[in-house]
Amino acid sequence: MQIRPPPRVPRSLVISSTLIAAGLVLVGVLALYVLPDREPPSRVLGVQAEDRLGGTLVISWIAATDNVAVLRYRVYRDGSEVAAVRTPSYEDASLPVDVTFEYRVAAEDEAGNIGARSDALLAASAPLAPGLQTLGWAQVAPSSWSLEIESATASIEIDRFEVSLVSSTLEVVVSPRPLTSLPATAGNLTLAFTDAPPIGELSAGDVFTLATTGAGAEYRMRVVYLPSSETVLFESLLG
């Protein structure tokens, strides 16, 4: 039996098929690079603020996602853009203290698409505690100590004093309100305060006196000032 060779495909048809296949591949490749990216990044979530006091807030959030890549984040304060950053955090400094601001964040991709803004976050920065220097605790009697303020960078309007006796089973707190009720006694602690001018403010020359009928325990005192209820002094001593 005679075997016949397969029919020959015309050369022009082979070339045409090859060109068509190459063209389809080229069209597919070009489509990947030429067609514009119109998909925005995901909405920013988890916006939170860290107060570093004195007019500085650090705003942070969960990184957004995108079909290509997130390029940067736009940060808005009270509706106006204040920064464009590449990492999911922003330090907003030189703010007025005790003023509440609204923050929102939106992600932007390399094509310029901007995602939906985050939910609003309300945040405020508390003032820095004025610097204080004391002469340290001095024992003035077997069960009495005094603490004098040597200097203060600014006068502090006092909100309250809190003194506590801390042990494994007991906590006694003296927190007089108003301050004119000093000296005040709670449990075995008595707190007195000598207010040097300016009256009603924590300043140089003020003296705290702490007396106790107990012994061998640790006592802690803190002073809280207005308007932000920040602690400006925290001292401890052993009875």
- The full set of domain ranges for the chain reads 45-123, 132-238
More confident residue, 166 or 124: 124
Best CA proximity match to 145, nearest among 155, 134, 129:
134
Do 132 and 233 contact (CB within 8 A), yes or no?
A: yes
In contact, 201 and 142? CB cutoff 8 Å: no
Q: How far apart are CA 94 and CA 78, in angstroms?
A: 16
53-90, pLDDT tens digit by residue? 778 899 999 999 999 999 999 999 999 999 999 999 99
Give the model confidence (pLDDT) of 184-214 as tens digits.
777 777 778 788 887 767 778 888 887 777 6
98 pLDDT above the threshold of 90: no
Residue 158 tokens, joined: 């006092």
Q: Are 178 and 157 in contact (CB under 8 A)?
A: no
Which pair of structure tokens corresponds to residue 1? 């039996």
Domain 45-123 adopts which CATH fold?
A: Immunoglobulin-like (2.60.40)
Token digits of residue 54? 């004195």
- Token representation of residue 129: 């505690």
Q: What is the CATH number of domain 132-238?
A: 2.60.40
